[in-house]
Amino acid sequence: MNKLLLIVYYFPPCGGAAVQRWLRFVPQLVNRGWQVTVISPASGDYPFEDSSLLQKIPDQVKIIKTKTFSLNRLWKVIIGSKESIPYGSLEITKDSSLLKRLLIWLRVNLIIPDMRVFWNPFAYRAAVQELSKDRYDLVITSGPPHSTHLVGLKLQQMLKISWVADFRDPWSTIHYLQMRKPTKLSFSIHRYMESQVLKMANLSLVVSEPIADKLPEGNKMVLLNGYDATDFVGLEYSPTSEFRIKYVGQVTTGQDIQSLLQAFKRFLTEYNAKFSFVGTKLSKIDLIRSNEVIPDLEVVSFVSHKMAIEEMVNSELLIIIINDTYDNMGIITTKLFEYIGSKTPILCIGPAGSEAEKIVTLFDSGKCFTSPFDSGVLIYLEDLFQKWSTANAVRNVTDISPLSVQKQIDKLDESLRRVMSARK
């Protein structure tokens, strides 16, 4: 039996999108004969917790929980008890205090590559102990946080392991570093670390072709996130008296919610439709501004993954917004595949020719527009509403099985075995 050591910061009971990729892959690898051990923090700085996800982890998987230094408590003491450490965003508003601006500057320029780097000593120590007492064929690190890849780099340098680096997002071109640019020196350190990881990893997995193209030279392979077909077993679409439009998940930097709602105002006013944010934390300012546009806007805070899937299925339209940042052509969120898996029509706002647009179009899962004010948006909304109001099923019917995680795991399994063979 082949043995794999996975080092990943975000893992259940952590909730949210960051855990989904490997939470889907691990059970599938176990089914294909891999023995998997996972190293993750016992109490990380997680944006959400969803203990229900623990049920998806096979009993055969060995989980090693380590200590870590949490900056969240320190951040709350300094900034305020109600504000958590930044996650996936380094946004500063006109209302941000001078102290917060300073701390974010320090974060961008001195804590490289990210805030989770303080977990590295604990993760490295746990990995060395596990590798010294048992034989492993492969070590995989997954980022963000990309600091986790530095653990893999050190393990390979010290122990000559077979190592696979998994990139769920870009590194030096990630959206929040484009919004809050580091100094030239700090950016050069990012690029050096990034290039060393790509150079030394036996294989680097990347979620999309454009992101792979922007990463430094290395042995790279695109591996989509995919959707887990088992998440949708037993779920059936049930229409109600309202045409339900939903944005499921977090709103992050570069997603213009205000423009979206403004563009939808006419449709929501004239038709029997309801707009909801599900599993979304909107700041008080954003919520006030949103309510000024749409008074009866529904905002539901964090929900379990199971409930999020149910919300996707029981909708007439799902909204996805590609972050309006530099080099956003390759952004393909985990949510996009779950949206497609739900078979609910999708409205995607993002750059023309993006990977997200290609996938949505190829699998006939919805429509993509560069702006919510595009005249085609209202036409698409009215067309869907007309079908729904005449009792026609508002469902996608194209075969989407090539996007399933079961298909992706075939590619992953083959590539991991190829890495093992090359090292022998």
Among 65-69, 84-88, 176-180, 227-231, the range scoring the smallest mean pLDDT is 84-88
Domains of the chain: 2-69+114-226+405-423 (3.40.50.2000), 229-401 (3.40.50.2000)
Residue 88 has pLDDT above 60, yes or no: no
What single-letter amino acid sits at 230? T
15-24, 68-77, 222-231, 355-364, range with the lowest pLDDT:
68-77
Residues 6+ apart with CB under 8 A from 143: 9, 149, 165, 166, 167, 168, 169, 171
Q: What is the per-residue pLDDT for 178?
A: 77
Q: What is the pLDDT of residue 374?
A: 95
Q: Residues 239-268: pLDDT tens digits?
A: 999 999 999 998 887 788 889 999 999 999
Pair of tokens at residue 74? 């320190």
CA distance linking residue 288 with residue 166, whole number of Å = 39
Band (75; pLDDT cuts 50, 70, 90): low
CB 173 within 8 A of CB 167: no
Q: Does the pLDDT value for residue 366 go beyond 60? A: yes
Tell me, what's the pLDDT at 232? 95
Q: Tens digit of pLDDT for each residue in 199-222?
A: 999 999 999 999 999 999 999 999
pLDDT tens string 100-139: 778 778 878 888 998 899 999 999 999 999 999 999 999 9
- The whole model's pTM is what? 0.88
- Please give the pLDDT value at position 117: 92
Half-sphere exposure of 277 (CA within 13 A, CB side): 22
- What would the pLDDT profile of 382-414 be if each residue is shown by its tens digit? 999 999 999 888 999 999 999 999 999 999 999
Q: Average pLDDT of 73-88?
A: 56
